[in-house]
Amino acid sequence: MNDQFDVSVIICTHNRCGVLPNALESILNQETRGVRYEVIVVDNNSTDQTRQIVESFIARGQGNMRYVFEGKEGLSHARNTGIAQALAPLIAFFDDDERVAADWVATIKQSLDEHAEVDFVGGKILPRWERAPPAWLASQLHWAPVALTDYGDTPFYSNTENPVCLIGGNLGIRRAAFDLIGLFDPELQRMKGSIGSEDHELLLRLWQAGRQGMYVPNLVVEADVPIERMKKAYHRMWHTGHGQACALMQLNELIDWNGRLLQTPIESKKFFGVPTFVYLELVQTGVDWFKVALKGNKVHAFTKENRVRHLVSYIRASHQHNHNRQPLFAEISALLKVWRRRK
């Protein structure tokens, strides 16, 4: 491993030349506290002025910046190319529509140096609204689809006991972790709206390998939130896509009733390849949605609606990927037996 750099920062971008300069300015103006870092900009097959913008920064004398082209579109492909090009033992990710705090690189290095027991660190992603958000979006209940996170000001571990996802818009990870469990999975990016699923799947593999991360409250970035992501249609699409991705990961079947991650899926009777408890949650959530809607609580009603969308999508995708389905009569008979036992 080249010892020229302590941290390799990877920014993946696709046709975002309008916002990219802000991201580059923020990462190049760091209070490093002696940390040596490189910046790798992965152009994911852009057709705009992305390359020219990056090369203009390099021409200013930014010797720690490199331009890399990845023609196969998809965030996982771009990130994996960046990892292959990275020279440092610590790898950091943030997005092209974000701006990192002045101490971001130094905080990643310090956090991983001081906590040998963790393989990754993540922190807050706070909003820069393009306009004032609607009331329902001001609630953090609806921040996941716009890739925002704020878990408060107390550090905590992210592991099998507490499987909280620290997303790639603000993530530092040891290269050794990739050597252990592999790179980002491109399979999940096929699903429209499943932004962030690649991050979740990567952490899932790390947790299952017995690894853990840490939420670091003072590791902060700010993200632009455009108007189109403030619309309910976008959030509905995201939850549908996320449901499909979670089905591929069998995520609902890997979380027990105490919120802990299991090594293998919960043993349960299935109906068309889907555990019966998923159907029961769908029914209960639908009832809850109706109740809170009647009370006029629009924020929580939209939360319940999106959970219904997630579960319906999860069921549909699980059914499609189940290659051991029984005939309809056998499936219905098995389901009725399960419900009789519950009475």
What CA–CA distance (Å, rounded) separates 34 from 289?
A: 53
- Percent residues over pLDDT 90 in the chain: 69
| Lowest pLDDT segment from 34-48, 183-197, 203-217 | 183-197
Quick one: CA torsion of 248, 252, 254, 257, rounded to 10 degrees?
180
For residue 289, pLDDT over 70 is answered with yes
Distance CA 272, CA 332 (A): 9
Residues 133, 229 contacting (CB under 8 angstroms): no
pLDDT of 299 higher than 60: yes
Task: List the structure tokens of 294.
Answer: 């009647």
- How confident is residue 188, by pLDDT bands cut at 50, 70 and 90? confident
- According to DSSP, the β-strands at 37-43 and 7-13 are parallel
Average pLDDT over residues 46-57: 96
Cα end-to-end distance, the chain, whole Å: 61
- Residue predicted with more confidence, 261 or 117: 117
